[in-house]
Structure 1
Amino acid sequence: MITQIIENSTILVVNDLETTLSELIPFYPKHLVRIIKNEEKDEFLIAQANLAIKEAYIASNEKKYIFLCGSSFRNEAQNSLLKVLEEPPKNVVFILITTSKSSILPTIYSRMPYKYLKTSTFKEVSSLDIAKLDLKDIYNFLKQNQKISKNEAKDLIESILLKVKDQNLLLDESQLNIFSKSIKLIELNARPINVLTTLLLSLSKQKKSF
């Protein structure tokens, strides 16, 4: 966790975009901060790059901090940012925040220092009994988790898969695909409660094959 203002353009590789923003932003004067991200999904696209460039060239007498946020960054978006990152306008600091170091082009890394803040997280095994999963279990589980966030939903899906392994239940390829499809749907901003419902109902129907 960074507990001070970042004074120079920097890349931050983190576990979670929103958590990092919520920890950083309080250290900056609100009127000097611009946050640019894709509101529909976590990928930083050419549209966000164009906004960043436009914002960078709006003159400021004080130092302005432009946060570029994305779980991943499209190559064309990064290429369009190269010039402004290499020679930023006066009083402009770029802070690029991502969860995927591999998505950042070497040409960007050569222009900006980076801090790797990503930490390993312990994944809990779900308390659900997958081998005996019934509609009552599913209903209670969904009721408890009806207002979870996108990242919490992904953690739950991983914890359910860990429970499957913990119970030594054998999954065939189609059953494994249920989990990978669920993660992809969450990343595409599908409602977590709907994805979890489909996943658990599928597991319940297939439990006889475990």
Structure 2
Amino acid sequence: MNFIDNSSILIVNDIDATLSEILPCYPLHSVRVIKNEEKEEFLLLQATLAIKEAYIASSEKKYIFLCGTTFRKEAQNSLLKILEEPPKNVVFIIITNSKSSLLPTIYSRLPYKYLKKSILKAESLLDLNKLDLKDIYNFLKDNQKISKNEAKDIVETILIKVNNQKIKLSRNQLEFFSKAIKLLELNSRPINVLTTLLLSLANQKNKH
């Protein structure tokens, strides 16, 4: 990945992998990485730390990386002013998994680079008519670190495949697709939601 010298937003598949790739491009003393070590969500605490760090004077450029799968609304609102008028020599680089994790007021302030690669290729290999535990295990293993928005895309794609392959589902199973989207919106772990959904489909297949 190329050196980024201006405040930007990076939309990526894997935040940690992106950091591992990009940080060696920068002088070690000029970089600050701010993320929530306990959860994937960027909270008001992290925003406050970022603002304090930005106002620590530096004669050289300082690169502050703000990382989160999702960004809490109040955290974003607290960052608005400093993103619009950053202190001298400060560059903010936001790294996240999805454009939809950011408020339009944030997104409109900074240029962005869309660096995501398609993660749905594994899903396209799933044959729902022949789904077994091995298929499910391999699929979940390949997609264990996806974001909630990527998981929502997969849920919707699987539902399209159900219709294309003319798989008959019970009302409860059909309702679980909409329930899965709601669970993901409530920040349930994507891997857990997808596991339940795929096991339900496998059980349905075994009944026929």
TM-score using structure 1 length = 0.70
Q: How far apart are residue 98 of structure 1 and its match? A: 2.9
2-side partners of 1:167 and 1:86: how far apart?
50
CA 1:179–1:21 in structure 2 vs 1: closer, same or farther (change >3 Å)?
A: farther
Amino acid in structure 1 at the alignment position of 2:135: F
* 2:146 is the alignment partner of 1:151: yes
Corresponding pairs, count? 201
Within a 5 Å distance, the mapping from 1:50-69 to structure 2 comes to 50-69=48-67
Distance between the aligned counterparts of 2:116 and 2:190, measured in 1? Answer: 27
Unaligned 5+ segments in structure 1 are none
Gaps of 5+ in 2: none
Q: Any conservation in 2 of the 1:15–1:117 contact (CA below 8 Å)?
A: no
Is the counterpart of residue 115 in structure 1 residue 112 in structure 2?
yes
1:8–1:132 CA distance, 2 compared to 1 (3 A): closer
- Is 1:104 the counterpart of 2:102 in the alignment? yes
- Looking at structure 2, the residues matched to 102 and 132 of structure 1 have their Cα atoms a distance apart, in angstroms, of 34
Structure 1 pair 24–79 and aligned structure 2 pair: CA distance change class (3 A): same
1:202 aligns with 2:203: no
Sort the Cα spacing of 1:147 and 1:126 in 2 relative to 1 into closer, same or farther, 3 A.
closer
Per the alignment, in what secondary structure is the counterpart of residue 150 of structure 1? coil
2-side partners of 1:70 and 1:44: how far apart?
A: 5
- Is structure 2 residue 46 aligned with structure 1 residue 48? yes
How many Å apart are 1:10 and its aligned residue? 1.8
Question: Per-residue deviation at 1:200?
Answer: 3.6
* 8 Å contact kept, 2:140–2:195: no
For the Cα contact (< 8 Å) 1:123–1:158, is it kept in 2? no
Q: 1:18 to 1:179 in 2, by over 3 A?
A: farther
CA contact (8 A) 2:15 2:96 kept: yes
- How do residues 1-210 of structure 1 correspond to structure 2 at under 5 angstroms? 3-109=1-107, 111-112=109-110, 114-118=111-115, 121=118, 123-124=121-122, 125-128=124-127, 130-131=128-129, 133=131, 137-138=132-133, 140-141=134-135, 144=138, 147-148=141-142, 149-151=144-146, 154=151, 161=159, 163-172=161-170, 174-179=172-177, 181=179, 184=183, 188=187, 190=189, 192=191, 195=193, 197-207=195-205
Aligned mates of 1:131, 1:37 — CA distance in 2: 42
- The percentage of counterpart residues that share the same residue type is 57
Deviation at 1:191, TM superposition (A): 8.2
Structure 1 position 132, deviation (Å): 5.1
CA distance in structure 2 between the partners assigned to 1:181 and 1:26 by the alignment: 42
